[in-house]
Amino acid sequence: MEDGKEKQTSQIKIKLNGVEKPFSEETRIHDWRTTVREETAATSEDTADEEEFEWILPEIDTKEIPEYKIVNATVPSPRNNIGKKWRRQMYPDISKLVFSIILAIVVGLILGTLFLKMMASEDDIVAINEVENPGSVNKDDEKNGGTTTGPVEITIPALTIGVLQGGQFSSKEAADAAANSFRKEDLATTIIEMDGKHYVFIGVAGDLATAKSWESQLKDNGIEVWAKELSIPAKDITFASQSKGEQFVTEASTFKKLANESVTATISGKTNAANMKEISGSIEMKEDIFESEVANSIHSKLVYALQGLTEFSSSDSQKNLINAQQGLLDYMNLFYKGE
């Protein structure tokens, strides 16, 4: 019974889609070393066959390439090459050179035109020089020998002088009354309206220091006055020619010297001969030497002042000193008004 059981063999059956498939438990072992040896041997045989194969190349007829020779070839002359090289060095770029020349000519013409215009504008201005502040001349007419002919307008420089003031008043009547009282003291007087007020002046000096010296003398004599500085604005006056304008400006610069000499003579009782000679040489003693009525009127007052001081030098008359101061005050008044 047991032997019968031992004889029974266990089997595994597999059914796929209802069909039995045999199943074997045998395992196939593959020897990889044998495979490698077989492949190596096959490779060796192939190599041997390739080495023993004889390569037979076909014979190809080669044709020689004919040699060509240059006939009548011209060899460049070294002299010609030198000439071309020299021309390239001397004339690297003709167009740039021509452009530079044209540009230089254009710039020169522009600058020349500007300089000519500047010189022409400078010729239209003439300055008349004087000692302290030169006057200016505006020329519009032609020149003859350096002297301008025709009407010219000249600016007479501003004038700053020392004066003796006798008072200031709100009305012309009060100023006239004060002036009359000073005349009784043998003093010259003039009245100038400034800023709506009337000022009475009894003397004029070239500078404030000289005016203060005269103020002290008058106060010692019981006359109440005040030394101060007065500025008279510049004036424009039209003259017939440049030479006439220069003459007027010269006289205006002499005014302060004449005023100082007048005050010095009043204080000391004598004049300085050298100063009087210099002043006389700067003032034309003739009247009506200017075509301008305003210029003639102002000039006549200066002539009157110089005459009074000149006569005092020879006569020592106090009346002449008063006349000199009156001429100076009238000159100052007209110069201030511009009339």
Dihedral pair phi/psi, residue 15, rounded to 5°: -110, 125
Q: Which residue has the higher pLDDT, 3 or 313?
A: 313
Model pLDDT for residues 124-139, shown as the tens digit of each residue: 443 333 334 444 444 4
Model pLDDT for residues 88-120, shown as the tens digit of each residue: 555 556 667 777 788 888 888 888 887 777 766
Tell me if 304 sits within 8 A of 323, measured CB to CB.
yes
Mean pLDDT of 68-88: 53
Most confident of 20-24, 112-116, 153-157, 257-261: 257-261
In whole angstroms, give the CA distance from residue 218 to residue 215.
5
Tell me if 199 sits within 8 A of 191, measured CB to CB.
yes
Mean pLDDT of 188-203: 94
Model pLDDT for residues 14-41, shown as the tens digit of each residue: 666 666 666 555 545 555 555 555 555 5
Confidence of residue 320 (pLDDT cuts 50, 70, 90): very high
Give the distance, in angstroms, between the CA of residue 125 and the centroid of all CA atoms in the same chain: 20
Structure tokens at 68: 């060509």
Tell me if 143 sits within 8 A of 212, measured CB to CB.
no
- Architecture per CATH, domain 157-337, reads as 2-Layer Sandwich (3.30)
Q: Which residue has the higher pLDDT, 49 or 208?
A: 208
Tell me if 183 sits within 8 A of 326, measured CB to CB.
no
Q: Is the pLDDT of residue 5 over 50?
A: no
pLDDT the model gives residue 64: 56
309-316, long-range: CB < 8 A, 24+ apart: 309/258, 309/261, 309/262, 309/265, 309/271, 309/276, 310/276, 310/280, 312/265, 312/271, 313/265, 313/270, 313/271, 313/273, 313/276, 316/269, 316/270
pLDDT the model gives residue 69: 56
Nearest to 325 by CA among 272, 257, 280, 266: 266
Q: What is the mean pLDDT of the chain?
A: 76
Dihedral pair phi/psi, residue 253, rounded to 5°: -75, -20
Q: Is the pLDDT of residue 74 over 70?
A: no
Mean pLDDT of 64-71: 55
Mean pLDDT of 267-296: 90
Question: How many CB atoms neighbour CB 278 within 10 A?
Answer: 13
CA dihedral 264, 267, 273, 278 (to 10 degrees): 20
Domain borders along the chain are 157-337
Mean pLDDT of 306-323: 92
Model pLDDT for residues 198-243, shown as the tens digit of each residue: 999 999 998 999 999 999 999 999 999 999 999 989 989 889 888 8
Q: Is the pLDDT of residue 262 over 90?
A: yes
What H or E segment, with its residue span, contains residue 20?
strand 19-21
163 Cβ partners below 8 Å, 6+ apart? 201, 203, 204, 205, 211, 227, 228, 229, 230, 332
pLDDT the model gives residue 101: 84
CA dihedral 176, 180, 186, 188 (to 10 degrees): 10
Q: Is the pLDDT of residue 70 over 90?
A: no
Mean pLDDT of 178-198: 94
Dihedral pair phi/psi, residue 151, rounded to 5°: -60, 135
Nearest to 246 by CA among 145, 143, 124, 155: 155
* E strand map for 139-291: 143-144, 147-156, 159-169, 190-194, 197-205, 226-232, 235-241
CA angle 234, 211, 323 (to 5 degrees): 80
Side-by-side strand order, sheet with 159-169 = 190-194, 197-205, 159-169, 226-232
Residue 282, amino acid: S
What H or E segment, with its residue span, contains residue 138?
strand 135-138
CA distances from 339 to 202, 203, 229 (A): 21, 20, 22
Dihedral pair phi/psi, residue 293, rounded to 5°: -65, -40
Q: Is the pLDDT of residue 309 over 50?
A: yes
